[in-house]
Structure 1
């Protein structure tokens, strides 16, 4: 009889779990929350990607997520201000071939780098922060999901291959997702923007990896800083699967930015420390 009693325990636990799940589902339904609100499997994510690419009013989305018409960058230390229209105007006056344009770095009155700009899809110059347009294709419940979605949606392609010989064209997070192609900067911008929208302290980092120009994403959390290779297609379903920045090798960061601020590294400290004293917050933009 005792053996039969113990055999019934797993059954009782299973029944209890089923009852709890049923009650929870009923409660969520009564609150107007669907248990299937968020995608979980690769198939569900694929369906959400297809759905997100067929908006009811794409023209409205194009306007909502358009690049700023004339953002202004200001130095936090040197008291200098500069607008995107001024930068584009100077470029037009120089008669420089836009296909050879690799962007600009700006110095303030203290001779300190406080901002950088790149040519956008509209062939106008935009500050790096401007490419983060607060875009996330759809809601997800897990922080690893944006990387998973973008690895499924985006294909790696160099600017000169995608844009008829242009050396450097940066895409906004919205443009990258809609086009479905881009290089490391475009992947990183799309990923960081989505994570910022989920409340993460995510930043796009530009520098070198093993001696080659590169861009990646760091997420600064209380328990550590994680480094995300935005172009990686490897599936990672937990934050613990992402490498700590302190363990990543070959990365030499030079600058980083989020939607508002711009940081430069004075190269004096540990390159794997993204919140150390070597990082100087030197600029911000006003949209």
Structure 2
């Protein structure tokens, strides 16, 4: 009787362990689908300029501030609006970029981080995986006819079906920041063509995340080390609070080196 009872307990234990293992090994698609089912949908995120944060930019070199009103005044004096505008001074270098949003206004690039985290994941690879399978890569002039450059905030990027490289990068970086990671968007070029990607600082290393990659992602595979990605040539780097300029070689692969100079600090109003 005790022997049969022991066998029964063992059988129940095997079932529990098997069930737990299956739960742990659930496919990323199933995990994402379940999370999306519980996700509240905004009415129309692409038409809502309120998703963008407002704030002030402080220049690290002299303490001068720049806000959205200052940007509007500067651009109103220009007959032709640039796709992306770089603010700088000869003695200070470049200290911030502004870019046009869905709302047709130009915003400081830091403001496109609106703090949106779709849902919490234990493995950061799942954030990258979700974006890769949820969002299609498409150039802005196709998505927004007559507009060569349009940036989406992280929330806009999550709910918009298409977007280009910076839209993917801002969404992934902001998601990782929400999970407690140090993640930044880098702009420069990939093998000679303008591009944006994400650098993740973790465990004393820098990892490069190609957020427009749609195939070959595996949640059990480690992120690639940034120092080995020599075709990526960084110029600027930013997150939700700061903006850095690369003053070293365009071929640098060390995103934590002294070549990176912090040019400005962004403080959101909310």
- TM bucket (normalised to shorter chain) is 0.7 to 0.9
- 2:35 aligned with 1:41: no
Residue ranges of structure 1 left out of the alignment (5+ in a row): 1-10, 25-35
Listed as ranges, the matches of 1:70-89 within 5 Å are: 70-89=54-73
Partner of 1:114: 95
Structure 2 contact 184–239 (Cα < 8 Å) conserved: yes
- Residue-by-residue CA offset, 1:15-44 (whole Å, 9 max, x unaligned): 65656789x9xxxxxxxxxxx8xx853133
Residue ranges of structure 2 left out of the alignment (5+ in a row): 1-7
The structure with the larger Rg is: 1
Structure 2 contact 48–103 (Cα < 8 Å) conserved: no
Partner of 1:244: 225
Which of 165, 187, 192 is residue 146 of structure 2 equivalent to?
Answer: 165
Give 1:79 shift: 2.3
User: What is the alpha-carbon distance in structure 2 between the residues aligned to residue 268 and residue 90 of structure 1?
Assistant: 31
Partner of 1:30: none
User: What is the alpha-carbon distance in structure 1 between the residues aligned to residue 239 and residue 87 of structure 2?
Assistant: 17
Structure 1 residues 13, 272: CA separation in 2 closer, same or farther (over 3 Å shift)?
A: farther
Give 1:245 shift: 0.5
User: What is the alpha-carbon distance in structure 2 between the residues aligned to residue 14 and residue 216 of structure 1?
Assistant: 50
Structure 2 contact 187–196 (Cα < 8 Å) conserved: yes
Structure 1 residues 90, 141: CA separation in 2 closer, same or farther (over 3 Å shift)?
A: same
Structure 1 residues 162, 111: CA separation in 2 closer, same or farther (over 3 Å shift)?
A: same
- 2:235 aligned with 1:254: yes
State the SS of the aligned residue for 1:176. helix
- Residue-by-residue CA offset, 1:42-88 (whole Å, 9 max, x unaligned): 13313433543x53x6479x9897112x4211111132211122212
Structure 2 contact 49–103 (Cα < 8 Å) conserved: no
User: What is the alpha-carbon distance in structure 1 between the residues aligned to residue 167 and residue 250 of structure 2?
Assistant: 28
State the SS of the aligned residue for 1:94. coil
- Residue-by-residue CA offset, 1:208-257 (whole Å, 9 max, x unaligned): 110000000010112411100000012221352x2100111211100101
TM-score, length-scaled by structure 2:
0.85
User: What is the alpha-carbon distance in structure 2 between the residues aligned to residue 58 and residue 192 of structure 1?
Assistant: 24
- 2:209 aligned with 1:228: yes
State the SS of the aligned residue for 2:72. helix
Which of 74, 77, 84 is residue 103 of structure 1 equivalent to?
Answer: 84
User: What is the alpha-carbon distance in structure 2 between the residues aligned to residue 64 and residue 95 of structure 1?
Assistant: 23
Which of 149, 152, 162 is residue 181 of structure 1 equivalent to?
Answer: 162
The CA RMSD measured in Å over matched residues stands at 3.2
Give 1:151 shift: 0.8
User: What is the alpha-carbon distance in structure 1 between the residues aligned to residue 63 and residue 90 of structure 2?
Assistant: 7
Give 1:109 shift: 7.6
Give 1:91 shift: 1.8
Structure 1 contact 75–108 (Cα < 8 Å) conserved: no
State the SS of the aligned residue for 1:42. helix
